[in-house]
Amino acid sequence: MAALSATIKGAAKVMVVDRHPDRLRLAEQIGAIAVDDSKTDPVQFVLDQTMGLGADRGCECVGYQAHDPQGTEDPVMTLNRLVQSVRFTGGIGVVGVFLPQDPGGPDEMAKQGKVAFDYGLHWLKGQTIGSGQAPVKKYNRRLRDLIAAGKATPSWIVSHDLSLDQAPDATRTSMSATTAGPRSCCTRTAPASRRPELRPADPLPPLQLAGRNSRRPARTGRPPPLTERSRTWQTS
């Protein structure tokens, strides 16, 4: 979904690092470059694809249960790889979940919710980083309109249509799948005859360009269109 979002935002090149063949095939379906980190060094791959500069943006989508191809858990592995592969003054978004405490962590630091983050290189490169839960209400109307207009198709990730009675078995299958076996990316249970029809989207409210504490009168209007310069910040 992160790759699909980057594509919708206008990224010229999107790279997805994983080692599950089914996920990599899904990434390729939307034009992303699939990178199998069990066969390729993902940091060097990204650098090679960007003339040594690094990606403009990187997204951490794994979280505290990240592990290497051998199965050894390393909570900060993906995050540190992004620090190495995102360019100077680039940005990193942390979508994966990190916890204040993880009693089952691989070491004492991880059990306390701490990781050996490569902050020195992150600081040197002047990167920005964002994390935490998404402010869903900030984006839901715009996403709804993209779906209604056919410009976003999140159902692309759905792998099975199942009844509610089949959901428990599907969940067990997904949880027990191996790296080489089938894995349900997502399931939906509402039959086609009962799915709600899309209705015309409500108009967005005017954009308030002045803060509530500002002494200037608030101006309204639509946000300016993306320029070519702003679109280049969405690469990868």
Q: What CA–CA distance (Å, rounded) separates 183 from 160?
A: 10
Asked, for residue 202, whether it belongs to a domain, the answer is no
Asked, for residue 146, whether it belongs to a domain, the answer is no
Asked, for residue 76, whether it belongs to a domain, the answer is yes
Asked, for residue 155, whether it belongs to a domain, the answer is no
Supply the CATH number for residue 73's domain: 3.40.50.720
Asked, for residue 236, whether it belongs to a domain, the answer is no
pTM, to two decimals: 0.72
For the chain, how many helices (H) and strands (E)?
A: 9, 7
**What are the residues whose beta carbons fall under 8 Å from the beta carbon of 60, sequence distance 6 or more?**
78, 79, 82, 92, 93, 94, 95, 96
Q: Is 161 helix (H, G, I), strand (E, B) or coil?
A: strand
Asked, for residue 185, whether it belongs to a domain, the answer is no
Asked, for residue 69, whether it belongs to a domain, the answer is yes
The end-to-end CA distance of the chain, in Å, is 13
Per-residue tokens: 147: 């779906």
**Number of domains forming the structure of the chain:** 1
Beta bridge partners of 80: none
Tens-level pLDDT at each residue, the chain (236 residues): 899 999 999 999 999 999 999 889 999 999 999 999 999 999 999 999 999 999 999 999 999 999 999 999 999 999 999 999 999 999 999 999 999 999 999 999 999 999 999 999 999 999 999 999 888 999 899 999 999 999 999 888 887 788 888 888 888 877 765 433 334 445 555 454 544 454 554 554 554 444 444 444 444 444 445 444 434 343 44
Domain of residue 126 covers: 2-135
Q: What CA–CA distance (Å, rounded) separates 127 from 134?
A: 20
For the CA atoms of the chain, what is the radius of gyration?
A: 20
Pick the closest to residue 55 from 116, 11, 102, 4 (CA basis): 11
In the numeric block, the tokens 């990224």 are attached to: 11
